[in-house]
Amino acid sequence: MEINANYTSLVAIGDSFTEGMSDLLPDGSYRGWADLLAERMAAHTPGFRYANLAVRGKLIGQIVEEQVDAAAEMQADVVTLVGGLNDTLRPKCDMGRVRGLLEEAVERLAPNCKQLVLMRSPGRTGPVLERFRPRMEELFDCVDTLAARHGALVVDLFGVPALSDQRMWDVDRLHLTPEGHRRVAEAVWETLGYEPEDDWRAPLPAPVPPNWATRRIADARFARQYLLPWIGRRLTGRSSGDGRPPKRPELLPYEGPIA
C-alpha cells in the first residue's frame, strides 16, 4: 500500500472501546487504540491534530446527541465512529432505533470529513457473545450498508480469531487488553492505507487451559468486581460515564497521552 500523506487530523467518537479501557497507563488514565493510532499518524505528519470525544458507557443515542455535531464541526480529515454495542447488550434493545440513530450519525459525519471510518467491533468468545450475536450481526450489517452508501471505510474485526481469543480481553471481559488495542490500531492504520507494520490477525500461541480452581476464582472475581456493579447500574439507570467529560474535547496537535 502507498502511505497516505494527506491525513492531518483525526477525531474519534464512541464509548469505552474508543476511550481506551482497559489499556491502563501508569498515571491511571487510559490510552487505547485511538491514541495509539494518533501517535503513529502524528509521527508521520508534523502538526497532526487529534481529538477523542469518546466516553465510557455511552449508548448510540447519547453519542449522536453529545458527540456527532461536535465532531462534524471540527472538519477533521478522518473521523472514526464506533457505537451501538452498548445498546445491543441491554435486555430491551430496539434495533430499529439503533439502526436509525447510526444512520443519522453517518449522514451528519460523512459530508464533514475527508474519510469516515466505521467498525465491525471484535467480540470475546463465550456465552455472552453467542447470546447477543444476532443483534451484533444486525448492527454490523447496518454498518456495511451505510459504509457502501456514504463511502466510509469499514475495519472488520468481528470474528477475527486472534481478537476473539479470551486472552485479548481484560478481567472485566468487556474491554481489550493493551495488546488488543495495539492490534486494533494496526488494523485501522492499515485500512487507512498506511504501510502495515505487522500482522494484526496473527494468532496467539496455543493456550494452556486453566485448571478448575483457577477458572472458579476468576469467575468469582469477575462477578464481584464487574458483573454485579454493571447490573446495579442497569437497575438504577446509571452509567459509568455519567458526568465524565470527553477524553480530548479539542482538536489540537497531538503531543502524547493526556493525564
CB atoms within 10 A of CB 111: 9
Q: Encode pLDDT of 91-106 as tens digits.
A: 889 999 999 999 999 9
Side chain identity, residue 138: E
Give the contacts of 32 (CB within 8 A, at least 6 positions apart): 17, 18, 19, 20, 21, 23, 181
The per-residue pLDDT for 194 is 93
Least-confidence region, from 130-144, 173-187, 215-229: 215-229
Judge whether residue 69 has pLDDT over 50: yes
Which pLDDT score, from 0 to 100, does residue 59 have? 95
Q: What cell does 254 get?
A: 497531538
Residue whose cell numbers read 464533514? 112
The model carries a pTM of: 0.87
Distance in angstroms (rounded) separating the CA atoms of residues 42 and 51: 12
Q: Record the cell numbers describing residue 44, joined without a space.
A: 508521520
Is residue 13 within 8 Å of residue 161, measured between CB atoms? Answer: no
* pLDDT the model gives residue 45: 93
Q: Give the residue with greater pLDDT, 11 vs 217.
A: 11
Return the pLDDT at 172: 81
- What type of residue is 208? V
More confidently predicted of 18 and 220: 18
Cβ-based neighbours of 19, under 8 Å, separated by 6 or more: 30, 32, 52, 54, 55, 56, 247
DSSP category for residue 200: T
Say whether pLDDT at 54 is over 70.
Answer: yes
For residue 114, which amino acid is it?
K
Residue 114 contacts residue 80 (beta carbons within 8 Å): no
Nearest alpha-carbon partner for 82 in 100, 63, 69, 98 = 63
> Looking at per-residue confidence, does 80 or 127 come out higher?
80
Gap between the Cα atoms of 4 and 168, Å rounded:
29
Mean pLDDT on 105-119? 98
142-183: per-residue pLDDT in tens? 999 999 999 999 999 998 999 999 899 987 878 999 999 999
Strand, coil or helix: 13: strand
Q: Give the tens place of pLDDT for each residue, 5-48.
A: 589 999 999 999 999 998 989 988 999 999 999 999 999 999 99
Q: Residue type for 32, please? A: G
pLDDT band for position 2 (cuts 50, 70, 90): very low
How many residues does the structure list for the chain? 259
30-44, 89-103, 182-196, 235-249: least confident range: 235-249
**Would you say 6 and 77 are in contact if contact means Cβ atoms under 8 Å apart?**
yes
Span between the terminal Cα atoms of the chain, in Å: 35
Q: Is 3's pLDDT higher than 50?
A: no
Residue 238, pLDDT > 90, answer no
Give percent of the chain with pLDDT exceeding 90: 69
Which pLDDT score, from 0 to 100, does residue 1 have? Answer: 39
Average pLDDT on 202-225 reads 66
Please tell me whether the peptide bond between 164 and the residue prior to it is cis, using omega within 30 degrees of 0. Answer: no
pLDDT for the residue numbered 258: 60
